[in-house]
Chain A
């Protein structure tokens, strides 16, 4: 029988007191286990030998947690013992049902599914979500998935991984294919200078690999070989590419040998002199590694020291990561006075949770604008630099997602003007806590981030004001096609040039008639890929240099159309 709420709180208080006072005896007995989440309605009296499904009645998920049809034994790759106990498929399904009811953001929109109609856990989980759609016609919840816990743990413990240090854009997935380089990691094999020429640069088109025609190969077997070469499995694995660089039809040959690559969150910081003052420019590609805290702070310090009067923040390939670093970045942009006593983001859980985080059981406190290092890679408490800006120019594409969008929303919440240059963002105001049960890790939307103005409805993304999209949150700025002809940071590069133009006179460059800002042809007016011409080339999920929640290609808005 689960404890009722007051009992649970009192028990927690007692445990807390005992743990806190008993620390002198050789290590203390405190545990970090959170108190129990809010209980569901009281269950019916149990009369049978095992759990049963009763429509409309949701027992406490903790009753079914770790009661496994096939219990694991031993420890996981992080050294933690498996908590599994002998149970049944029914208990696993009942746990999913109750856990969803307790923690899913849209719990009231989930059908009450009879577990007896299912013979496996994943299909049951897949159905435990809302079927509502957004204004764009897309599924309200298309972030609902699961994977084996073994895979989840392997992925989060895998960095660094073998790669060349190049991020790919597939502009055409079927013949004639167009595979380009988006950017290269500093210090990686892709960035190596050979005979005065960098191996790969932004915009370099990959034409063939090991003699296989990347552009025209038709068979699935050839595509598999191409993928294997693009994404090497082992350090030292070597492949030879024929490539052409932007602005030339000449080809050259490049041999790349894979090395262990860790993503660099900040790959460029520069100061752009203009007639009206210096403009800072930062390419910030991920909030995920803990090093992102220090790298973005260092970049901002460089710009603060230089005395820039404006900032162009390039988040076009930033798929998100740590909300805390997003908060720190926003503070460094906006400064002390604008952020004082304001909320960067509040995690809004389902209504039944009240002011308690139903996942951790803790009080749901707002995320402030963090003003100091938090200890990821900066010393906890270290002061952060600020630019103290009332406006910021953010470069975006459909890969600008999650924590990147939290920066946009968080700044808009304190009336910092966000000028969006590029294209509609991915539209993910949601988040979750991955949860293992019996060897499967489940991702279900549990919170929506809202800003200081209590706004977080950007499931269709933020969109520049001159866009033809009929949905998305309209934001000052310009639609501009991602430009693979120029390097990131080059003032001729289309998005950066547009930001500087908008800053100068408030105007946008003209978009070619009939053109979508999306270069991939995945939406808008471009034609769909024709798979009768040959097998479709797709990036493995996810690209080792791409941490995009929806695993989409650049400019692919999860199928949304204008």
Chain B
């Protein structure tokens, strides 16, 4: 294992494992208790921080029914005809006290301040 790339990949894998375990052991899938404008505004504010951009639009889905959400990419310009853009999925989870969104592709976890949620029934949870 003298190859520095291999060492780094190993470090990444270890970090990922630690993070994944932490998330898995303390969080369970959840749905929001409300999806009114105020709640969605709070969710979008957190997602704006997560995405590093101001304009956040959510994809299809009722957050009081679904345990995940998607952040839409920016709309395509008229000349973008082969765009690899896809929505970014986040899972909604709770540790029993607070609600979070977890960016599915990276495991990054963000607390949803002043947003209420409830653990999802097992059937919904299995979708994650």
Q: With an 8 A cutoff between CB atoms, is A316 at the interface?
A: no
Q: Contacts A28-B50, A78-B53, A377-B60 hold; do A542 and B79 have CB atoms under 8 A apart?
A: yes
B79 touches A549 (CB 8 A): yes
Q: Contacts A6-B5, A16-B12, A322-B85 hold; do A21 and B59 have CB atoms under 8 A apart?
A: no
B8 touches A13 (CB 8 A): yes
Closest to A347 in B: B84
Task: Give Cα distance in the complex from A9 to B6, angstroms.
Answer: 11
Interface positions, chain B 79-109, Cβ under 8 Å from A, are 79-89, 95, 98, 100, 102-103, 106-109
Task: Give Cα distance in the complex from A155 to B70, angstroms.
Answer: 23
A9 touches B80 (CB 8 A): no
Q: With an 8 A cutoff between CB atoms, is A548 at the interface?
A: yes
Q: Contacts A28-B110, A322-B83, A547-B81 hold; do A159 and B60 have CB atoms under 8 A apart?
A: no
Chain B residues near A321 (CB-CB < 8 A): 76, 80-81, 83
B111 touches A26 (CB 8 A): yes
Q: Contacts A24-B111, A375-B72 hold; do A542 and B22 have CB atoms under 8 A apart?
A: no
Number of interface residues of B (CB under 8 A): 56
Tell me the number of A-to-B contacts counted with CB atoms below 8 Å. 188
Chain B residues near A13 (CB-CB < 8 A): 8, 11-12, 15
B72 touches A290 (CB 8 A): yes
Minimum CB–CB distance from B93 to chain A (whole Å) comes to: 10
B89 touches A380 (CB 8 A): yes
Chain B residues near A79 (CB-CB < 8 A): 54-55
Task: Give Cα distance in the complex from A32 to B103, angstroms.
Answer: 10
Minimum CB–CB distance from A290 to chain B (whole Å) comes to: 6
Closest to A159 in B: B75
Closest to B109 in A: A23
- The answer, among B8, B12, B82, for a CB contact under 8 Å with A402, is B82
- The answer, among B8, B80, B110, for a CB contact under 8 Å with A10, is B8
Chain A residues near B50 (CB-CB < 8 A): 28, 30, 32
A431 touches B54 (CB 8 A): no
- The answer, among A16, A289, A380, A548, for a CB contact under 8 Å with B87, is A380
Chain A to chain B contacts (Cβ below 8 Å), 29 pairs: A6-B4, A10-B11, A14-B15, A17-B18, A20-B106, A20-B107, A21-B22, A23-B102, A23-B109, A23-B110, A24-B95, A24-B111, A25-B111, A32-B52, A78-B74, A145-B79, A156-B78, A323-B82, A367-B84, A376-B87, A377-B60, A380-B59, A380-B60, A380-B69, A401-B81, A432-B82, A434-B80, A443-B79, A542-B78
Q: Contacts A6-B5, A27-B111, A443-B79 hold; do A324 and B85 have CB atoms under 8 A apart?
A: yes
Chain A residues near B110 (CB-CB < 8 A): 23, 27-28, 30
Chain B contact residues, CB within 8 Å of chain A? 4-5, 8-9, 11-12, 15-16, 18-19, 22, 46, 49-55, 59-61, 66, 68-70, 72, 74-89, 95, 98, 100, 102-103, 106-111, 113, 127
Minimum CB–CB distance from A379 to chain B (whole Å) comes to: 5
Q: Contacts A155-B77, A323-B83, A374-B87 hold; do A19 and B111 have CB atoms under 8 A apart?
A: no
Task: Give Cα distance in the complex from A294 to B59, angstroms.
Answer: 11
Q: With an 8 A cutoff between CB atoms, is A49 at the interface?
A: no
Interface positions, chain A 1-37, Cβ under 8 Å from B, are 5-6, 9-10, 13-14, 16-17, 19-21, 23-28, 30-33
Minimum CB–CB distance from A339 to chain B (whole Å) comes to: 17
B70 touches A375 (CB 8 A): yes
Closest to A326 in B: B82
Q: With an 8 A cutoff between CB atoms, is A152 at the interface?
A: yes
Chain A residues near B88 (CB-CB < 8 A): 32
B59 touches A377 (CB 8 A): yes
- The answer, among B79, B95, B113, for a CB contact under 8 Å with A27, is B113
- The answer, among B4, B9, B66, for a CB contact under 8 Å with A379, is B66
Q: With an 8 A cutoff between CB atoms, is A373 at the interface?
A: yes
Task: Give Cα distance in the complex from A13 to B86, angstroms.
Answer: 23
Task: Give Cα distance in the complex from A14 to B54, angstroms.
Answer: 25
Closest to A430 in B: B82
Q: Contacts A33-B52, A156-B76 hold; do A428 and B81 have CB atoms under 8 A apart?
A: yes
Task: Give Cα distance in the complex from A164 to B104, angstroms.
Answer: 42
Chain B residues near A73 (CB-CB < 8 A): none
Among B16, B50, B72, B108: residue with most chain A CB under 10 A = B108
